[in-house]
Amino acid sequence: MASTYRCLIIDDESPAHKALASHISKFEDLEHSGSAFSGMEAVKMLNANSYDIIFLDINMPVISGVELMELQPNRPLTIVTTAYSDHALSAYQNDAIDYLLKPISFEKFSKAIEKAKIYFSGNSLKKEVTTTEKVLSNRVNGQIVDTLLCDIIYIESLGNYMKLYSAKLKSPIIIYGSLSSIASEIDSTNFVQVHRSFIVNVDKISSVTFKNLTMCNGEIVPVGRKYQILLDSFFK
């Protein structure tokens, strides 16, 4: 049986929702699974539900499409749908698979969907293990070190490297890479970026204030202003 791709439309204008929903309905393997009319609503829906493809507008109040992409690097496959051409570079830098200018013809929409299907065919192995079973494998001092996701307290960016704090280790380990690269390997239902330099495991948060988090190991993690909305969505 062919896969069915769950689609979320994110746009603050009703006509755009109607047009995209109409295009989606013409594909047997696409399912219109949700509609968000603001970036804030989209964040909550993305945290609460599973989607395969999002159709994302750029110009929206409070959280723009570009900001949403930056806030949620580990989001579903993204097709940008906008009336403005000047954000294409930012969209592709944030891994959008296509950039469609409104009004969106069915032909252009179809080509974007074909790109999405090609992407999925090359990434068909889906995450079927639970968060508590998933392991991050990294080379540390010449050896491969496996860390259970459920044991990670938080990850701190150090330029081209990261410092990973685990509940099972007395001291953090230093691994190569960036927060954006590791975000694709972790489960967004348990991990959230709260600062440009920090991703935390929400299950390891002991207390929350407006500007800081206290983690279960007693460490204090700062909360960036633009990331506050993401954090709030976990506690509402």
The answer to whether 166 touches 152, Cβ cutoff 8 Å, is yes
CATH of 5-122, one of 3.40.50.300, 3.30.200.20, 1.20.1050.90, 3.40.50.2300: 3.40.50.2300
pLDDT at 8: 97
Question: From CA 35, how far away is CA 74, in angstroms rounded?
Answer: 19
Does the pLDDT at position 123 exceed 60? no
Backbone angles phi and psi of 92, in degrees to 5: -70, -30
Residue 171 vs residues 6, 131, 201: alpha-carbon distances, Å: 41, 23, 17
What mean pLDDT comes out for the span 119-132? 50
Which pLDDT score is estimated for 235? 65
Report which listed range, 44-58, 84-98, 111-125, is most confident: 44-58
Confidence bin at 113 (pLDDT 50/70/90): very high
Domain spanning 135-232, CATH architecture: Beta Barrel (2.40)
Q: Locate the domains of the chain by residue range.
A: 5-122, 135-232
Q: What is the mean pLDDT of residues 118-139?
A: 58
Same topology, domains 5-122 and 135-232? Answer is no
Mean pLDDT of all residues belonging to the chain: 85
The stretch 25-47 carries a mean pLDDT of 94
pLDDT above 50: residue 131: no
Q: Do residues 66 and 87 make contact, with C-beta atoms less than 8 angstroms apart?
A: yes
Higher-pLDDT residue of 13, 193: 13
- The gap from C-alpha 62 to its chain's centroid, in whole angstroms, comes to 18
